[in-house]
Structures are given as structure tokens and as C-alpha cells.
Structure 1
Amino acid sequence: MSRTRIAVAASAAATAVVLAAAGCAPQPQSTTPGAAGSAKAADCTTGSPSLHKPGQLTVATDSPAYEPWFDSNTPSNGKGFESAVAYAVAGKLGFAKDQVKWVVEPFAHSYAPGAKSYDFDINQISITPQRAKAVDFSGSYYTASQAVLTLKDSKFADATSLSAFKGAKIGVQVATTSYQAVLDQLKPAQKPSVFNTTKDEVTALTNGQIDAIVTDLPTVFYLAGAELDNGKIVGQFGYAGGTPEEFGLLLPKNSGYTSCVDKALSALKADGTIARLTKQWLSASANVPELKQ
């Protein structure tokens, strides 16, 4: 489902860090937006008291969990981009697959202030300064583009520019960046319609209530392939106030495990794992034209 949000550039991948099967070396204060910094060394062992439940890595995502981020609405099967990334991070931290427990956390609740019932949430959550006031973030694991989806018989199906949507009725999902992206980039004559779920968006599109959906590109692929018989991906465009929109792992504010997760993710980026998983699960995005003004 759509999870695109406003972002600032997250910290760049660090040099490869070797993590021991049972833990990692003490880490300096993180420079990741929202990451907790501490003068004392982080305990990155699988039994760390900073874990929600020591000896177990508790990972959250929303339900339903959509393709291509997950497969068959089953995060625990290791299939789909975000499931695969979560298990790769777990492995770097020393956790076996059976030590990873998945819990449900609605997207809009994930970055709200307060205690969390998980160690990190992976749910296409964009890193933003506003959210980082209430939660911690790792570095980015994916840079997302916005995309436009319509129906094959729509008058907008063959649009080649963002300005072509001036007269369109656009649908977006609540609590996502897409709303502002539509206002700033597509600049339609009327404000976007906001829906609670992608299912609601698809229903509105097929019923003619809206002309197009704007959401993140991988979700557009899923909707066009699995939810619509006559869907047409018009194109993609970048948006986040001039900076890349990047997804990060979300942790409780000032978590003692933030630097551990961030280091594990940085190591996966440095050794090529993240690039390989991106190609495996999200490679279709390369064939979508870019829409400009």
C-alpha cells in the first residue's frame, strides 16, 4: 500500500562494518536523523536490555502487508523487499530467522510519540525531521519515487508531463507525502481526494470518482498488476522538497538499539545486499518513464 512521505536525505552508507554473530562493537553517536546518541557504548548483542524482548528481534509492519514489499500478506516468509531487508538486518545483528517476531503496527501510529511494542518498524516510512522528533530512524534502505496510476481508457493515460494533470481529480492515501507532492508537482485545479486505504483509492478510480492515483512507485506496480484489470502506469516523478525521499527503519525514540540497527543496515548497503534485494524485488521500476513539467 502507499507509504510515500516527505523526506530529507538520510545519512549515506558507512564503510562496511563487521558484526559478530552475537553482537557488535561499541558505536559512536549516530548522525542519522532522529537516531539516538549516547555517550556510553551500545549493547548490540541479541540479549541486549534495549530490545523489546531480549533474545528476540521484534519487527513491526502494517496489515495488510502489500506486494512488492511483502508477499501473500505474510511478513514472516522472508519474501518481498521489506521482509527480505528485515531478515538481512536481523542476520547481521546475530538473530536466527526463528528469533524474529512480527507484530502489526498501523502506519499512521508508527511515528506517533510514545512507547513502542517492537524494536523497529519497516513500513515504507519516510525519514523526516518532524517525525524524528518523536522516533529514531536508521539510515535509508530505499529511495522512492512518486508515480501516477490511471485507467487505460482514461484521457490522462497517455500524458507525458506533470502539467497534463492540471484538470485531473487525483486520489492519495491519508498520512502520506503524496498529497503535498500532488499540490507542488502536478498542481491540479482542485485539491486531491484523500482515502484511508489503497483499496478505497482503487474503488474511487474504477467508479470514476477520481482520474488518477498518486503513490509510491512499487505500490503502483502492485495496484496495476493485482488490483486493476485495466490499470495504466503513466509515469514516475521524484518529490521531497528537492531532496530524495528515503525510507528508514523506525525505532522508539532514544532506543539503545538504534546505532546497532543503523550499523547493520550500513553493512548491508556496503556489501551490496541492499542493492541485490532492490533488484530482486523492485527492478520493474526502471521501465517507467519520468514525468516532468
Structure 2
Amino acid sequence: MLRRAVAAFCACACVFAVSACGADETGKIRIGIKFDQPGLGFKKNGTYVGFDVDVAKYVAKKLGYSEDEIVWKESPSKQREAMLQNGDVDYIVASYSITDERKKVVDFAGPYFVAGQDLLVRKDETGIDGPKDLNGKRLCSMTGTTSAVNVKEKFAKQTQLMEQPGMAECATALLSGIVDAATTDDIILAGLASASRGRLRVVGKPFTQEYYGIGVKKGNTELKNKINNAITDMIQDGSWQRAISDNTRGVAYTPNAKYNPPVPNGKGNK
């Protein structure tokens, strides 16, 4: 009972004081990221790389933490809300789309990026220039996502769907010729294309908008506002564009200029 009472007190304190929320006894900040998304959040030989990682590091620095004071926590999509609610992490940067349903249980800073659903194909593919070209084709996406369903319902009803646990498996299926295309958010596809060393390419015609936010515990307005200020600084000082370029190197990928760079606390996070 005593332990629960202490935990509850600390959780409440987080709402009012960033320093109390962001640091434990060792002065660390705990940040949730993906470990399996090349180009965004990827664990590689004990280090962490990707655009989300760069954003997370920039924000942490603005909050007063050096890189060696960051504790990285893997944040699978289905666990993100619980991790924030339970205080397992201080904030999450993990291709975390801002939605009305999620805003009922967590708060979001941002958006820091606006992605769009797109297609990944082999570099020599000439017959697929958009989702309408997928009738009769074999398409791969992640299990439990709406990406492939969007294509089949809105564009190409005769598409054959293959679901895999992750997009890396879809990229493998694409490279081996098992499927003709893969689909999810464009920046994730760009990371996969970069990792393929030129064997895969992004079609480059996004057909949705996904507003990526940084998740914080519900009610922690002070931390949310500080993160919004950090995102604004990252965009204005050029670090945002450098992070995009660094993590999509070797790929003909440009974020949709109609929506990027976004305005933190703007559309998608009202």
C-alpha cells in the first residue's frame, strides 16, 4: 500500500513539475521509441537511430538532458497509451499519430511531422504509380493496421492482401518477389528504401495525412508546452530538415511540402 501511495504521489507531481516527471533518482529521462522501424526508430548494435530518435534527443536537450541521460524504452503501438498512463516513460516519439480517440487518454505535443500513406515498390517497377494501379496485385502491410484496408476499400478492390508482423517483413517479401508493393506511412517506407540500398523506392504520391505527435501523460500541460517550444526551435534552426535528410539518405524522398514542416499545436492537435 505504501509503495502504491508513493507511486501515485509521484505521478501527480509529474503534472505540475517537469523536473519531477522527467528525472528519477539518477537524473535520467525515459523516452519511448520504436526499435524496429528503419529511418524512424531503430535499435542498431546497441545504439538508436532514426528521425524519431533525433527529434527525441533534440527535445531532451532542450529540457536539460544530455544523450547519456536518456533511457530508451521500446514502445510498441499497442502499448503506448498504457506506458504513458503508468508512468513508464516521460514522453513517446514513435510514429504516434494524433487522433481524437487517443487524445481521450493521453496528451500530444506537436505535430512534429505529417506523414502520408504511400507505396513501396521495387526500383524497376513501372506499372504501379499509385493505389489505383493495385487491382490484381499483391500488397503487403502490417497486421492490425488500416493501411492495406484503405487501399482495398477506396482504390483497388481486387488487391490481394498479405499481412506481416512488421514492415521489415513486407520489405523482404517485396525484395523476394512474393508481393508487388507494400504500404504504410511514407517516412517509414523511405527508411526501408534507404536500408535496401537502392533496391526499393517510394512511389512518392501520398494519399492520406497522418499527424505525428509526441505523447505525454494526460494533464501534463507544462511538459507538452515545453516540447512544443522545442519542436518549433528544431524546425526554425534547421535541425528538423537535417534530421529528415540524414535518415532518408540515398532515397528520392521529400516530405509533402503542403503539410511539412508542420506548426506545433496546430492542425491535428486542437
What is aligned with 1:212?
181
The residue number in structure 1 matching 2:7 is none
What is the DSSP-based 3-state SS (H/G/I as helix, E as strand, rest coil) of the residue aligned with 2:157? coil
User: 1:85 is matched with which residue?
Assistant: 55
Query: Which structure carries more strand by proportion?
Result: 2
Distance 2:206 2:78 in 1: 24
Q: Residue 58 of structure 1 corresponds to which residue in structure 2?
A: 30
State TM-score, norm by structure 2: 0.73
Percent identity of the aligned residues? 24
Map of 1:285 onto structure 2: 253
The question of 1:103 aligning with 2:73 is answered yes
The 1:263–1:74 alpha-carbon spacing in structure 2 relative to 1, beyond 3 Å, is: farther
Q: Which residue of structure 2 lines up, in the alignment, with residue 248 of structure 1?
A: 213
| C-alpha displacement of 1:190 | 4.3
Q: CA deviation at 1:281?
A: 2.9
C-alpha distance in 2 between matches for 1:238 and 1:104:
29
**Which stretch of the first structure deviates more once superposed, 49-58 or 130-139?**
49-58
1:237 corresponding residue in structure 2: 206
Name 1:158's counterpart in structure 2.
127
Normalising by the residue count of structure 1, what TM-score does the alignment of the two structures yield? 0.68
Q: Are residues 1:126 and 2:97 paired? A: yes
- Of 205, 228, 231, which residue of structure 2 is paired with 1:265? 231
Deviations along 1:139-158, one digit per CA (max 9) or x if unpaired, are 1111112221233566xx43
Q: Say if 1:61 and 1:265 are closer, same or farther in 2 by CA, change over 3 A.
A: same
CA shift digits 1:206-246 (9 cap, x unpaired): 5555321112223323333434884344343130xxxx322
- Residue 111 of structure 1 aligns to a residue in which SS? helix
Unaligned runs of 5+ in 2: 1-14, 257-270
Are residue 43 (structure 1) and residue 17 (structure 2) matched? yes
**Runs of 5+ consecutive residues of structure 1 not aligned to the other structure:** 1-40, 289-293
Aligned to 1:145: 116
- Larger relative contact order (Cα-Cα within 8 Å, sequence gap ≥ 6): 1
| Residues 162-201 of structure 1 mapped to structure 2, 5 A cutoff | 162-190=131-159, 192-201=161-170
Aligned-partner residue type, residue 277 of structure 1: A
1:10-49 Cα distance to aligned partner (Å, 9 max, x none): xxxxxxxxxxxxxxxxxxxxxxxxxxxxxxx9434xxx22
Aligned length: 238
Letter matched to residue 253 of structure 1: K
- Given that residues 112 and 134 in structure 1 are in contact (C-alpha distance below 8 angstroms), is that contact kept between their aligned partners in structure 2? no
Q: Distance in 2 between matches of 1:251 and 1:200?
A: 30
8 Å contact kept, 1:50–1:255: no
Q: 1:50 to 1:222 in 2, by over 3 A?
A: closer
DSSP 3-state at the match of 2:150: helix
Q: Residue 89 of structure 1: CA displacement? A: 0.5
